[in-house]
Amino acid sequence: MNTPAIVARQLTKDYSIADRGDGLRGSLRTLAGRRTTKVRAVDDVSFEIPRGAIVGFLGPNGAGKSTTIKMMTGIIRPDTGDVSVLGVDPARQRIRNAQQIGVVFGQRSQLSWDVPVRESLRLVASIYGVTRADTESVIASAAAELELGPLLAKPTRQLSLGQKMRCEIAAALIHRPPVVYLDEPTIGLDVQVKELIRGYLQRINREFGTTIVLTTHDMGDVEALCQSVLVIDAGRVVFDGAIHDLKDTVEPRRTVIFRRSSGWSEGIVEELNAVLPDGARVEEAQDAVLTVVLDPLTTTSGRVVSAVASRYESDEVSVHEPTIEAVVRQIYAGALA
């Protein structure tokens, strides 16, 4: 049987935060370390990630995504519970773990500040024991796909945010790790750079079966990359599964839009609602656009289209699923609470 790449069981993590009192006295009390409050960042989180999957960790700010990923990478230890990554305990078997993972975390850089990027990449590769020939071939393919060309000769300190992120990704993947973690890999980047990064990650995943875990607030990343998502809210997993199941759980409605340049007659809403199948109703008819919503568990878009076509001709018909953006907005507003 295909064992999962990552297994997390009942992870819990608390942070202690010093209580900040007001004014000088409060600050002194904080310095003296008198009072702390515990914040439960991750609360009994369990999941499995299959080998070769690309999984998105979603959730509002402060939900516990980064803390969970930090436990998966071994940067921090869980207070209770355990993680296994390809059979390795990341916090206890640090060297074995480092060999098999690649990490891109915004605040941490693998690149040397004053050294040309090409030399930085070679240095990182040598730390992982990658042969010279493999290093040069990985740099060449990353340079082509991530458009690093002229950047390789520049020191990291001269790079823009998007340029640096592309180089960080090349560095994190230089030893072709089977598992890769990325924290917000496209945050603040322009659309073209986002697409380069997504394309590179897709290719690595396809070609080498790399398991990729990413946190993101960018639903374009999710649409382009992730087959499944793990939604975390207030430290707990509120959804773990395929994106289409997430859509069906949160917002199962489909929308059928009919366009007719001559417009829709008055009273069409009542007229069509009388003939539409159960589970479908006209939401609105405005100017050229008629919108029908339907519950896919009760009826089909085909039946809706037939019912409307039996009465009216349309110039154009389209069927829409909810966007992942709309679904996630609903989750953050409490739809899965």
Ligand X SMILES: Nc1ncnc2c1ncn2[C@@H]1O[C@H](COP(=O)(O)OP(=O)(O)OP(=O)(O)O)[C@@H](O)[C@H]1O
Residue 282: strand pairing partners? 292
**Among all chains, which residue has been given the structure tokens 């070679």?**
122
Residue span 20-39 as binding mask against ligand X, x where in contact by CB under 6 A, dash where not:
-------------------x
The binder of ligand X chosen from 3, 10, 17, 161 (CB under 6 A): 17
Choice between 65 and 122, CB closer to ligand X: 65
Stretch that binds ligand X, among 30-38, 65-73, 102-110, 237-245 (CB under 6 A): 65-73
The binder of ligand X chosen from 27, 35, 46, 62 (CB under 6 A): 62
Q: Is 186 in the site for ligand X (CB under 6 A)?
A: no
Q: Is 66 in the site for ligand X (CB under 6 A)?
A: yes
Q: How far is the CB of 42 from ligand X (least distance, A)?
A: 7
Q: Is 41 in the site for ligand X (CB under 6 A)?
A: yes
Distance CA 37, CA 16 (A): 6
Q: Is 67 in the site for ligand X (CB under 6 A)?
A: yes
Choice between 47 and 264, CB closer to ligand X: 47
Choice between 42 and 196, CB closer to ligand X: 42
The binder of ligand X chosen from 63, 91, 324, 327 (CB under 6 A): 63
Beta 211-215 vs 179-183: how paired, if at all?
parallel
301 touches 282 (CB < 8 A): no
Q: How far is the CB of 66 from ligand X (least distance, A)?
A: 3
The binder of ligand X chosen from 53, 54, 65, 272 (CB under 6 A): 65
Beta 254-259 vs 289-294: how paired, if at all?
antiparallel
Q: Is 91 in the site for ligand X (CB under 6 A)?
A: no
β strands within the chain, DSSP E: 6-18, 36-49, 54-58, 80-85, 101-104, 179-183, 211-215, 228-233, 236-242, 254-259, 280-286, 289-294, 316-320
DSSP element (H, E) containing 322? none
Distance CA 95, CA 215 (A): 24
